Amino acid sequence: MSPVTSRRYNVRFVDWTLYETVVFADSEDDAVAKAQALYHADGLGAFTFKTVGDEGWEAEILEDQS
């Protein structure tokens, strides 16, 4: 591709990532609270993750072609 005929584009998409952990709890609300506490204490260290898809690919031409 020749730089003279090519134009610059900003391209982006949304990536969906699922994070999960296992906790022992007495109810769903308690389980969510414990998982949130883990996240706030240790970040994502206690969680496994997987990418579950992407969507919304879009491109827009950059007005400033420098």
pLDDT value of residue 53? 87
> Which of 19, 17, 27, 24 minimizes the C-alpha distance to 51?
17
Contact 13, 58 (CB under 8 A): yes
Confidence of residue 1 (pLDDT cuts 50, 70, 90): low
Token output for 44: 């994502």
**pLDDT tens, 5-46?**
788 999 999 888 999 999 999 999 999 999 999 999 999 999
pLDDT of residue 56: 85
Query: What global pTM score does this model have?
Result: 0.61
First to last CA, the chain: 16
pLDDT tops 60 at residue 3: no
CB atoms within 10 A of CB 34: 15
